[in-house]
Every structure is written in structure tokens, then in C-alpha cells.
Amino acid sequence: MSIWILHLPNALTISRVLMLAPALYFLESKMVVPSLACLILLFLTDFLDGWLARKLDASSALGAVLDPVADKIVTITLFGFFFWKSQIPLAYFALALFRDTAQISAVPILLFFKKIQFQVKPKLIPKIGTALKFLLLGLLASYYLWESLWNPTLFSKTKLLFIFLSSLCEFQILWHFIPRFFAIYRKEHDTFE
């Protein structure tokens, strides 16, 4: 198999982060078609990188770390945009920011400062948490781009439901992540789940 094919999943992961700048530009400019194209590609690459890695038998330790880091960079950036546009409450933004920043910070602390190798094998709740964040971001983007097409009450209730469910996932993820981080830091464990 070609070496290029083996690196395709990681290239897709990196492209997710690189697409943020044009996505934000198009969103801010309310350019509907380019915004949607960038956002759909952003969200699809999250699915495709993992699927291709499994399908091509190209899973790697680097990809296992890159994928969740890319997810967090995307969500921090887009939620920051929507917070700036007063579309999400400070409490939710702070919670999501804290979780994502804590998890991103774990990578250099463990790998570079402590020289500790670890694995990332997310269970169902973190996957659901990421999916809820991406669905919430899609909802926020659709309202931001097509506000006149939305029923304001329906949008508010749907947004609050997603924020509530996502917040539950965020608390549960933090509840498990923080003690696991310290266990890995003390070399008592080697896997984030």
C-alpha cells in the first residue's frame, strides 16, 4: 500500500484545523454556500479520518492523539465565534472551553514534559459529547446564516436542549478525565478513555 494512502487519515485530521480560517471568514461574511461547504467538510473529516484509518488499516498512535486534539481546536474556535456573537451562554462556553483546554493541555504535559506515552481510546460518552457539540455547532451556524427561516421559539428550545445534553456529557467527561490524567501523570495508568 502506498505511503500516501497510509497518511491520508492524518492529513484529513490536519485539514479540519486548516479549514477553520476560511470557515470563520465565510461565516462572519454570512456567505451561505461557502460557509456551509467549509462546515460540512469540517464535520465530515471528523468521521472520514477515523473511518479511513480503520478501513485502510492505517490507525496510528499519532492519529489517535491528533483526532481529538483537532476536534477540540475546532470546537473551541467555533464556540468562541458563537459566544462572541451572543449565541451561547457564558456558562456553557466556559465549561466546553475548560474541558477542551484541559484535554489539549494534557498532550504536551504528558508527551513532552513528562515523556509519558499514553493511548486515547474514547468510550461512548466522549463520542456522544463530541457529536452533540458538532450538532449544536451546526444548529448555531444554520440559525446564524438563516435566522429569518427559523421559528425563534423552536430554535431557542432546541438550542437549550442541546446545551443541556452537551453539558451533562461535559461534566461526565471531566469527572473521568481529571483523575485519569493524574493517574497517567503518576504512571499508574496509560490510557485516556
> What is the per-residue pLDDT across 87-96, written as a single tens digit (0 to 9) for each?
999 999 999 9
| pLDDT band (50, 70, 90) for residue 4 | low
Strand-pairing partners, residue 161, are none
pLDDT tens per residue, range 12-70:
889 999 999 999 999 999 999 999 999 999 889 888 888 888 888 777 777 777 888 89
pLDDT for the residue numbered 95: 97
Closest C-alpha to 43, from 20, 26, 66, 62: 20
Q: Which residue has the higher pLDDT, 137 or 4?
A: 137
Tally of residues, the chain: 193
The percent of residues above 70 in pLDDT, for the chain, comes to: 97
**Residue 81 CA from chain centroid, whole number:** 14
Distance (Å, whole) CA 41 – CA 93: 23
Distance (Å, whole) CA 106 – CA 192: 10
Closest C-alpha to 92, from 78, 74, 106, 79: 79
pLDDT for the residue numbered 2: 61
Check whether 177 has a pLDDT greater than 60.
Answer: yes
pLDDT for the residue numbered 52: 82
User: Does residue 187 come out as left (phi exceeding 0), alpha (psi in the -120 to 50 range) or beta?
Assistant: left
Q: Which residue has the higher pLDDT, 123 or 26?
A: 26
Mean pLDDT (whole number) for 123-148: 92
Strand-pairing partners, residue 119, are 191
pLDDT tens per residue, range 139-162:
999 999 999 999 999 999 999 999
Q: Are strands 191-192 and 119-120 parallel, antiparallel or unpaired?
A: parallel
User: Does residue 88 come out as left (phi exceeding 0), alpha (psi in the -120 to 50 range) or beta?
Assistant: beta
